[in-house]
Amino acid sequence: MPRYVSFFSYTGEAWQQMVDRPADRAEAARATIESAGGRMEAFYWMLGEYDGLVIYTMPSEVEAAAYSATVSNSGRLARQQTHQLLGTGQALQALELANDLRQVYRPPGAAGNWRADYDMAD
């Protein structure tokens, strides 16, 4: 299953509500992710630009988008940013494919008969 990380920041109103009525936000995230067919791997609070992050798997991009839309729709997040993660094996596959694709890629402004090996040193 594809793996994602979502960084999030709460609104001031959400912080007030969480301080007034403390609750396990990780459990709320887990329940929503599992309802979409996924699995939560980690939930962390953070100091800095974002208030926290959640790492999870989903059956597909559709379920990941639905989860993102659900938590954004709550109005309690000031912002959310989600990225799909690649494992080292997937990254290696991507690099190997990139090695093949660069033989056919023509950069912007390149001559019509440009080839990648023209720029390679002997």
Q: How many residues does the chain have?
A: 122
pLDDT given for residue 114 in this prediction: 62
Asked whether the CA dihedral 48, 79, 60, 104 is positive or negative, the reply is negative
* Global pTM value: 0.81
Whether the pLDDT of residue 10 is over 70: the answer is yes
Task: Report the alpha-carbon distance of residue 24 to residue 19 in Å, rounded.
Answer: 12
Average pLDDT across the chain, whole number: 92
pLDDT digits (tens, 9 = 90+) for 30-75: 999 999 999 999 999 999 999 999 999 999 999 999 999 999 999 9
8 by DSSP, 3-state: which? strand
> Side chain identity at 86, as an amino acid letter?
L
Lowest mean pLDDT among 24-38, 58-72, 73-87, 105-119: 105-119
What domains can you pick out in the chain, each with its CATH number?
A: 3-88 (3.30.70.1060)
pLDDT given for residue 44 in this prediction: 98
Q: What is the mean pLDDT of residues 81-100?
A: 96
Is-contact 61 48, C-beta < 8 A? no
Task: Report the alpha-carbon distance of residue 83 to residue 78 in Å, rounded.
Answer: 17
